[in-house]
Amino acid sequence: MKDILIKNRRRFAAGAAGLLVIVGISAVAAGCGTTEKDIEEIPTPVANTLYVYNAGEYIDPELIDQFEEETGINVVYDVFETLEEMYPVIEAGGVIYDCVCPSDYMIEKMIENNLLQEYDPEKIPNLQYIGEDYMKMASQFDPGNKYAVPYTWGTVGILYNTRMLDELGVPYPTKWSDLWNPALKNEILMQDSVRDAFMVALKKNGYSCNTENPGELDKAMQDLIDQKPIVQAYVIDQVRDKMIGEEAAVGVIYSGEILYVQDELDGSGIDVEYCIPEEGTNLWIDAWVIPKNARNKEYAEKWIDFLCRPDVAAQNFEYITYSTPNVGAMELLDEEYLENEAVFPDTSELLKTSEFYHYLGPAGDSLYNNRWKIVKSS
């Protein structure tokens, strides 16, 4: 009698365990089915689909629809917040993308680590519209222009609120060293990223923003520590909203944000201006690249070609307000934009003092990271 009981119970235990596994698996499967994200992770390529990976809010969404309509290719569009978040995704290949849009130094890193494949210029006829100057600049991180097609470009500079500075009696900034003026206590927004913060301090001292000289980096670090008490906050994309809200008088910002800020403030009586500091700055290019493991190189090239078409590039510029390297598009734009020196500065002048970031390798990166930690901890 007892034996039967025990047997029954054992069967019950096994059954329950089995049931549980089934419940668990089906629940997980059900869960996965609910997000588009995980559907993509099915390793077999979905026919007729292009997988694009771009930074957030970095395209006019109408253009994605337009591309789908024109080509009949279905676009799966994912976004990343930072390049540091994007890199391991491409490297590990957990999700496979056909086309990605990183910045200069990251492209350099991806080329160095053999993660990209060359594009076929024949397949991208609209490449002719990308200005020669910009292709030349891009060759700094992509020698021979084999991997990257420039999408946007710009500078890093100081955005300032003229009324607030007048009230404080502080002259308008023209140099990075103006950000060390004690009269600006709690009025400064700095970038919360290692390279950008160090670029400001390095350039202030006349050093290269790619330096690996410990002495120069130490000096820059000390300057950042000295500056910290007068900095209101270290932020990334918030600079834009904080400047619009008049929460700070000056902020270090990417040139692509200026038009947005000025548009938002149009008619409010608040005047913000942008300056590229005399000491020179960081010049950057974001460009489309095709990962080595892309499933649909052909679609990726169609996508890039589409974005290089002058009317598309012009429409996209008006939406994202980041300067376009597309000469064809520039002809379609308002004169007013082209005359705006903040948005379209004279590159030949700029290149005398300004630089692109270069990928420094793990050893170089840690020179910066360790010092940045000291700045943040102090």
Partner 1 sequence: MNNKASRYLAGPYVVWIVGFIVIPLLTILYYGFTSDTNAFTLSNLMEIRRWENYRPLYRALLLSAGSTIVCFLIAFPLAMILRENKFSRGSFIVFIFILPMWMNSLLRILAWQTLLERKGVINGILTTLHLPEQHLINTTAAVMIGMVYDFLPFMILPLYNALMKIDDNTINAAYDLGASFWQTLTKIILPLSVPGIVSGVTMVFVPALTTFAISNMLGGGKIYLIGNVIEQEFMQDSDWHQGSGLSLVLMIFVIVSMLIVNHFDDHKDSERGGIM
Partner 2 sequence: MDKLKKFASDCYLALIVLFMYAPIATLMVLSFNSGRSRAKWSGFTTDWYLEMWADETIMAALRNTVIIAFLSALIATVLGTIAAIGINNMKSWSRNTIMSITNIPMLNADIVTGISLMLCFIAFRISLGFHTILIAHITFNLPYVILSVMPKVRQSSKDTYEAALDLGATPTQAFFKVVLPELMPGVTSGFMLAFTMSLDDFIITHFTRGAGIDTISTLVYSQVRKGISPTMYALSTVIFITVFVILIMGNYAPEWLEKKKGKAK
Q: Which is nearer to partner 2, 22 or 183 (CB)?
A: 22
What's the rounded Cα separation, in Å, for the pair 229 and 181?
11
Q: Which is nearer to partner 1, 243 or 276 (CB)?
A: 243
Partner that binds at residue 42, options partner 2, partner 1, none, CB closer than 5 to 8 Å by kind: none
At its nearest, how many Å lie between partner 2 and the CB of residue 11?
7
Q: Say if strands 116-117 and 99-100 run parallel, antiparallel, or are unpaired.
A: unpaired
What's the rounded Cα separation, in Å, for the pair 66 and 112?
34
Which residue type does 325 have?
P
CB-CB neighbours of 120 under 10 Å: 11
Angle CA(149)–CA(152)–CA(155) in degrees, nearest 5? Answer: 125
Partner that binds at residue 14, options partner 2, partner 1, none, CB closer than 5 to 8 Å by kind: partner 1
Partner that binds at residue 136, options partner 2, partner 1, none, CB closer than 5 to 8 Å by kind: none
What's the rounded Cα separation, in Å, for the pair 208 and 192?
20
Q: Which residues of 311-331 are buried (b: 16+ CB within 10 A; e: fewer)?
A: ebbbbbbbbbbbbbbbbbbbe
What six digits make up the tokens of 364? 């170089």
Which residues of the chain form contacts with partner 1 (CB under 8 A)? 6, 9-10, 13-14, 16-17, 20-21, 82, 84-85, 88, 186, 192-194, 228, 231-235, 245-248, 365-366, 369-370, 373-374, 376-378
Listed in order, strand segments (DSSP E) in the chain are: 49-55, 74-80, 99-100, 116-117, 149-161, 188-191, 231-235, 250-254, 272-275, 283-288, 290-291
Partner that binds at residue 86, options partner 2, partner 1, none, CB closer than 5 to 8 Å by kind: partner 2
Q: Tell me the torsion sign for CA atoms 323, 326, 329, 330.
A: positive
Q: Which is nearer to partner 2, 38 or 273 (CB)?
A: 38
At its nearest, how many Å lie between partner 2 and the CB of residue 18?
12
At its nearest, how many Å lie between partner 1 and the CB of residue 262?
19
Specify the length of the chain in residues: 378
At its nearest, how many Å lie between partner 2 and the CB of residue 12?
4
Q: Which is nearer to partner 2, 216 or 246 (CB)?
A: 246
Partner that binds at residue 31, options partner 2, partner 1, none, CB closer than 5 to 8 Å by kind: partner 2
Q: Which is nearer to partner 2, 145 or 191 (CB)?
A: 191
Q: Which is nearer to partner 1, 20 or 338 (CB)?
A: 20
Which residues of the chain form contacts with partner 2 (CB under 8 A)? 5, 8-9, 11-13, 15-17, 20, 23-24, 27-28, 30-32, 34-35, 37-38, 41, 56, 78-81, 85-86, 88-89, 92, 94-95, 235-238, 240-242, 245
At its nearest, how many Å lie between partner 2 and the CB of residue 204?
26
According to the 3-state scheme, what is the secondary structure of 293-310? CCCCHHHHHHHHHHHHCH
Q: Which is nearer to partner 1, 103 or 232 (CB)?
A: 232
At its nearest, how many Å lie between partner 1 and the CB of residue 363?
11
What's the rounded Cα separation, in Å, for the pair 239 and 231?
13
What six digits make up the tokens of 214? 């410990």
Is the distance from CB of 65 to CB of 40 less than 8 angstroms? no
Q: Which is nearer to partner 1, 213 or 366 (CB)?
A: 366
Partner that binds at residue 232, options partner 1, partner 2, none, CB closer than 5 to 8 Å by kind: partner 1
What's the rounded Cα separation, in Å, for the pair 213 and 161?
35
Q: How far is CA 43 from CA 75, 91, 97, 297, 300, in A?
A: 17, 16, 11, 16, 18
Q: Which is nearer to partner 1, 163 or 228 (CB)?
A: 228
At its nearest, how many Å lie between partner 1 and the CB of residue 267?
19
At its nearest, how many Å lie between partner 2 and the CB of residue 352?
34
Partner that binds at residue 22, options partner 1, partner 2, none, CB closer than 5 to 8 Å by kind: none
What six digits make up the tokens of 230? 């007068």
Partner that binds at residue 376, options partner 1, partner 2, none, CB closer than 5 to 8 Å by kind: partner 1
At its nearest, how many Å lie between partner 1 and the CB of residue 376?
4
